[in-house]
Structures are given as structure tokens and as C-alpha cells.
Structure 1
Amino acid sequence: MGITIRIMTWVLWALIISLSVYFLFDNVIAYFFGYRSRLFGDSFFHNQVWVALHMGGGTLLLLSGPFQFWSWFRKEYLSIHRLLGKIYLIGAGLAGFSALRISLISTCLPCRISLFLLSVFMLLSSGLAWLSVKQRNIKAHKQFMVRSYVCALAFVTVRIDGILPLDFLFSNISDPIFRRTVNEYFFSFVPLIIAEIIMTWLPSVRRKRYQH
């Protein structure tokens, strides 16, 4: 059972890192090396600055995030883990606050609410992760970091519609706006709900069972 869990964990991390690398090359690098979408303003200082901040903050999140959850690295290089944690929080702040602004100007009107809520959840979970570690509540710190990272990955998955295996769930939706809205809400909140069930719901049931 332990081997199976380890294999599933490595497969999951391989998928997460692969999607992150794909997003960095397909979106971030393309943006900073010339691509500018008119959907987010007609100049850098007219709304596109928010996209640049979001991309830059997201890059810090994606590059530092996996190291934060690598237990061996955390134990062997605690000082670097703390430094990367600060870099992660800076990225979360940049990506989160800029996403709040982007949510107000998104061309997908129904998606504005999901993007705004996702931004709030990421900022809140990241802030609580910092507060809990300051209070030396390591368990709460780990859980809030998971929530924050799941929110960060949601910004990735909602932007790569069409390459994920679960995309077939939306294949019968012909209306592009409705399809995008479903995609945004699904990848923004379903992973967060699953993480919550694994971290809090299931352990609480197991504890109750052992008490009887």
C-alpha cells in the first residue's frame, strides 16, 4: 500500500510540474517576449501591467511551490525552505492582488466572480499560512500552504483548456462562453474541495472511528 501511494504521489507531482512548465512556456514566456493581448488593455500601463504582475507572481509560485512540499528538501535545507517560502508568499501577493484587478476587466463576464473568489481564497490561505507558521502551528501552516498552492494551480489549469483528460466533461457544451464559465468554476473550486476532504474531512472520520 505504501509503495502504491508513493507511486501515485510521484505521478501526481510529475503531472503538476509538467502542466506548470507547459503554462510557463505557453503563456508566461510568450507574454514577456512580445505577445500582448488587446483583451487586457492597449498598453502596458493601461491594464496590461496587471497581467505582467500576475504572470511574474505566478512564475514565483510555480518555481518555488514544489520545493515547499518536498519533505526531504525541507528537512535537509530548512534555511532555503524558509527563503523559498518568503519568495512564494511574495509571488502569491503579486498574483493574487493583480488577479483581483483582472477579475474586474475580464471579457468573460460570468467568469469574473470565480476569478475574484479564487484570488481572495489564495490571498487568504497564503496569509494564514504565514500567520500560522509565525505562531509555530506547523500542521495548520502545511494545510494552508496546500490550499494556497491548489489555488495557484487553478490559475494554471483554467488557462490550458483542451489538453487535460477531464476536458471531455465539457465537450458537449457548444456555447463557448458557457463552456469557459464551467471550465473556470470546475478547475477553480473542485480541486480545492477535494483537498479539503482529504486534509480535514477524512482524518476527522478516522479519529472518531478509533475513539469507539
Structure 2
Amino acid sequence: MFKKISWLVFAILAVSIGLYPSLYFFLDRKFSLLATKTDEVLTDPAWNVGFYIHIIFAGLAMLAGWTQFSPRIRKFHLGIHRNLGKIYVASVMLGAPAGFYIALNATGGIVSSIGFTFLAILWFSTTLIAYLAIRRLDTRRHEIAMIFSYSLCFAAVTLRLWLPVLIYLLEDYYTAYRTVAWLCWIPNLIFAIIYTRRLNMKISAA
């Protein structure tokens, strides 16, 4: 029962945040995180291109990625698994570099910029490793790398879970944002390390 509930919560969060970027096309220009940006940044064509590429393809990666962890889809619908995997990889290849670029102007200054830059690099790298592994038919390495990749993709969810808590505790938006630039992905990565080690132990013991 706990496993089913956890999976349901995981799916709901992934789909919700995957669709979240669409709001930027319908609501006021100063919606959400854009409210903290200067007019200079908001009117910069290059930044806008990077921002919209990032939110569109990161959202698409979020929507495609969670399904890849369904044993049912992998076992009975391998074609769907492969096609969604291709969409995920292509989305990361576009979304991560765009995220790297807009991280240069991250809210909160250099501390936030460095945090999000590391996130973009790691997300891109782990996804590329996963892709190259499956091209070599190394399914074990592919699975491990994809767990790391999606744990980093899931930073979009954990950022939005942590940020209101940090604002409440720290009583300052910018301090909270500098903190969440790291907190949104480091615990996810630690979870992925622990999870994959346990997975390897189970496989070795089998």
C-alpha cells in the first residue's frame, strides 16, 4: 500500500510540475520566479530564448521521465518506454544547456548561479551517460544513470516544495532562494546514491 501511495504522489508531483511551465504563457509577465527579475533581464532577447527553451523542455522531460520507472511499461510496453526515453533525452539535451545559460542571471546572485550551474551540468552529464549506455546495450549502467538523471530533473519539484518552507524559516526570499539553489538537488542526488547502492546489493545477492 505504501509503495502504491508513494508512486501516486510521485506521479502527481511530476505531472503537475511538468505542466507548470504552461502557466508562463497565460499569466502576467511577472508571474512566479519572474517577479524577482529586473526589467533589464526580462527584456534581454537571449535570456528570454534561454528561459523559454529551458521551461518548455525541462517540463517535457519531467512529463516523459516519470513513466520510465514503471515496471509495467518497461515489461509490457517496451516501445512506449523507448519512445518516451528518446523524448526525455532530447528534452534534457536542450533544457539543461538552456538552464546553464539562464543560471548566469539566477535570482540571489553568484551563490544561486553556481548551484544551478552545477545542477545543469550534472543533469546533462548523467543523461548523456544513460543514453550512451543504452546505445551499447548496457542496461544496468543505463538504469543507474537514469535514476541519477531523473533525481536531478526532479529538482524542479523539490525546489517548489522547499522554497515556501525556507522563506518561512529564513524570513527573506533571497536568502531562501540562495539556499534552495543547492537544496533542491543535493538531497535528491544523495537519495539516488543510496537507492542505487541498495539496488546493486539486491542484484548481487540474487
TM-score range, shorter chain: 0.7 to 0.9
Aligned residue in 2 for 1:142: 143
Q: Give the drift of 1:207.
A: 8.3
Aligned residue in 2 for 1:153: 154
RMSD across aligned positions (CA): 2.6
Q: Match of 2:150, as an amino acid?
A: Y
1:203–1:63 Cα change, 3 Å: closer
Matched, 1:30 2:23: yes
Q: Give the drift of 1:157.
A: 2.6
Q: Give the drift of 1:196.
A: 0.7
Aligned residue in 2 for 1:176: 173
Aligned residue in 2 for 1:118: 119
Unaligned runs of 5+ residues in structure 1 are: none
Q: Show the 5 A alignment for 1:97-116.
A: 97-109=97-109, 110-116=111-117
Q: Give the drift of 1:172.
A: 2.8
Q: Match of 1:49, as an amino acid?
A: V
Number of aligned residues:
197
TM superposition score normalised by structure 2? 0.82
| Matched residue SS, 1:107 | coil
TM superposition score normalised by structure 1? 0.80
1:68/1:85 contact within 8 Å kept: yes
Q: Match of 1:63, as an amino acid?
A: L
Q: Hey, what's the Cα distance between the residues in 2 that align with 1:61 and 1:205?
A: 29
Q: Give the drift of 1:124.
A: 0.4
Partner deviation per Cα, 1:126-178 (whole Å, 9 max, x = no partner): 0000011111111111111111111111033324522xxxx2x6633133322
Q: Give the drift of 1:43.
A: 3.5
Q: Hey, what's the Cα distance between the residues in 2 that align with 1:65 and 1:195?
A: 15
Q: Give the drift of 1:89.
A: 0.7
| Matched residue SS, 1:158 | helix
1:101–1:132 Cα change, 3 Å: same
Q: Hey, what's the Cα distance between the residues in 2 that align with 1:205 and 1:170?
A: 39
1:99/1:119 contact within 8 Å kept: yes
Partner deviation per Cα, 1:176-211 (whole Å, 9 max, x = no partner): 3222222221122111111211212x4566789x7x
Q: Hey, what's the Cα distance between the residues in 2 that align with 1:42 and 1:53?
A: 15
Q: Hey, what's the Cα distance between the residues in 1 that align with 2:6 and 2:84?
A: 25
Percent identical among aligned pairs is: 25
1:116–1:94 Cα change, 3 Å: same
Q: Give the drift of 1:34.
A: 5.3
1:45–1:117 Cα change, 3 Å: same
1:170/1:183 contact within 8 Å kept: no
